[in-house]
Structure 1
Amino acid sequence: MKIISPRLLSQVTLMLLLFMSLSTTASAQTQDIEERIEYINSYVNTNPDSALILCEKALAGKLGKDNEARTALLTISGNAYFTLGDNANAIRYFKRAVDTAIGGNDTIGCVNALSDLGVAYRVNQQPDSALICYNRALSLLANSDDPFLESNILISISILFGNQRRYGEAISFAEKGVAKAMMTDDIETQIYAVSTLGTVLFLDGQKNRGLAEQRKI
């Protein structure tokens, strides 16, 4: 058995302590970034102007140098403009978020930005562009296991087809969305998916089945 010298042992201990210290610091920094982004995002629906001001300040500071944080902030800006009814700027910021996410290999950030961009296109009466965004998002999730994101995108496609009175396709995507939603523990996602399925069934004339789905909520 080889005996480690006290000097070498002290060096190893020092290295371990340093590694633990750096890991703790990195974890704290990550948590701080997430909390700041969540704080800014909380203003989107209640005070979008404030959300935009906070986003611009954050983008101009240290937070804006972190790729994932920058993607999130650009997406929040897009949603703030969307809340204000400024679809042109909403689309512009969502596109910037998509490009930033792609540049940083941030798949989740890209999927979120594409999903929101699709909604903005749909509201802006650009259904073909919306569908392209949704399909791109689904393709990015093809090799992942994220039923929450998949459900939201599938439901968005269902709503898109429902608005076009393509009820057969709307029902098919809503059913897939419900199946994915049930794989999550998120009750709001489940309610949203089932509610959408019930609505498109009702619009398709399948009133009894539509009501049955709604009652599940």
Structure 2
Amino acid sequence: MKHLLHIFITVVCIAVVAGCADNSRLRDDIDRAGRLADTCPDSAIALLDSLSPAINQADKATRMRYDLMLIKSRDKAYIEHRNDSMIAPVVEYFTGHSDPDLTPLALYYAGRVYSDLGDAPRALDYYQKAVNSLISNDNDRLRTYIYTQIGDLYYRQGLFEYALNANKKSLDLSYALNDTLFIIDGLKEIAHTYINMNHEDSALICYKKAYELSQSINEEELSGCLLSQYAYLENSLGNKEVADSLIEKALMYDYKTENLKSVLYAITSKIYMQRGKSQQALPYLLWLCDNGSIYAKRNAYRNITLYHIQKMQWHDALKYNNKAFDAVNSIRKIEGAEA
């Protein structure tokens, strides 16, 4: 009997050790997916999906870690959060089991989830909790993300002073990290905020700095996009020759990213339409009709309708007006589904 008891205890110990080893390997794979999400979120999601059969047998700490990295990967892949069913237990677990790395991350992604759900007060509350939970400068990258998101939420609420304060904190951290792309993004956000505060001169300085930095790292597409925004502001201030020069320069770059090309063409066509040069705007509007987002298409259809009205080409004007009407209906359906 005593011999059987020893065998039983030995088997249990082996099972426990094996279980711990399995959880340890799983956590290593989950953490690898979390790191991969920063650069290749689709690959991170695929890796996490491959681990899902083993997750049901894992301990709670491993399951919560898995859910957090899945939320992160989906967020990085621009998959909109539709509910808080996954993040709520993750936050509850990591606030009850404090971890210097994962607790702030869980609070940050709670902010991202509630931001997507349109609950700005709750999102801001979680972002602030995430900042307060950061205890070392090792997390300055996450701290930068948090202040950027806080700035964006305040901006969307029209609270531009608060948005400017948060974006400046994010920019200072980006300079400390010596991350040029983050610095450029920070300068762009601050420029947008300054424009809404009627501080156009300050916005121009930000665009100029951002453009010079993009040139220093040979980011041509980004340079062109920044030049177009710079040009639009100069045009709004009545500096038409400067705006023309900037737009001409922006159009010379080779664009492989359709999103950036769309921004450039939308701004270029808008400048020409504002000046009554619809003929010059037409090639860019036609490109947007074929390649732009549904919102870009709507605006392009409307402007082409105006072009044909000016030319008294009524058949074409009606055709594009109908296209604009269809685009508006599509947008209403999208926004209705999101609501």
Matched, 1:60 2:132: yes
Whole-Å separation in 2 of the counterparts to 1:132 and 1:112: 14
Within a 5 Å distance, the mapping from 1:134-173 to structure 2 comes to 134-173=207-246
Shift of 1:125: 0.5
Q: Rate the CA distance shift 1:103–1:37 in 2: closer, same or farther, 3 A.
A: farther
Whole-Å separation in 1 of the counterparts to 2:135 and 2:119: 21
Shift of 1:148: 4.4
- Aligned length, in residue pairs: 196
Larger relative contact order (C-alpha < 8 A, sep ≥ 6)?
1
Quote the residue 2:276 is aligned against. 205
Whole-Å separation in 2 of the counterparts to 1:34 and 1:142: 31
1:97 to 163, 170, 185: 170
Within a 5 Å distance, the mapping from 1:110-189 to structure 2 comes to 110-180=183-253, 182-185=254-257, 187-189=258-260
User: Given residue 92 of structure 1, which amino acid in structure 2 is its aligned partner?
Assistant: N
Q: Rate the CA distance shift 1:25–1:35 in 2: closer, same or farther, 3 A.
A: closer
Deviations 1:42-100 (A, max 9, x none): 62694433432232222223498522221122111111100000000011111111111
Shift of 1:161: 1.3
SS at match of 2:215: coil
Name the larger-Rg structure: 2
1:84 to 133, 150, 157: 157
User: Given residue 98 of structure 1, which amino acid in structure 2 is its aligned partner?
Assistant: L
Whole-Å separation in 2 of the counterparts to 1:73 and 1:37: 14
> Is the 1:78–1:89 contact (alpha carbons within 8 Å) kept by the matching residues of 2?
yes
Q: Give % identity.
A: 21
Matched, 1:108 2:162: no
Shift of 1:116: 0.3
Q: Rate the CA distance shift 1:25–1:106 in 2: closer, same or farther, 3 A.
A: farther
> Is the 1:151–1:178 contact (alpha carbons within 8 Å) kept by the matching residues of 2?
yes
Q: Rate the CA distance shift 1:189–1:141 in 2: closer, same or farther, 3 A.
A: closer
Shift of 1:171: 3.2
Identify unmatched segments of 5+ residues in structure 2. Answer: 1-25, 38-68, 77-108, 289-339
Q: Rate the CA distance shift 1:73–1:174 in 2: closer, same or farther, 3 A.
A: farther
- Which TM-score applies when normalising by structure 2? 0.50
User: Given residue 285 of structure 2, which amino acid in structure 1 is its aligned partner?
Assistant: Q
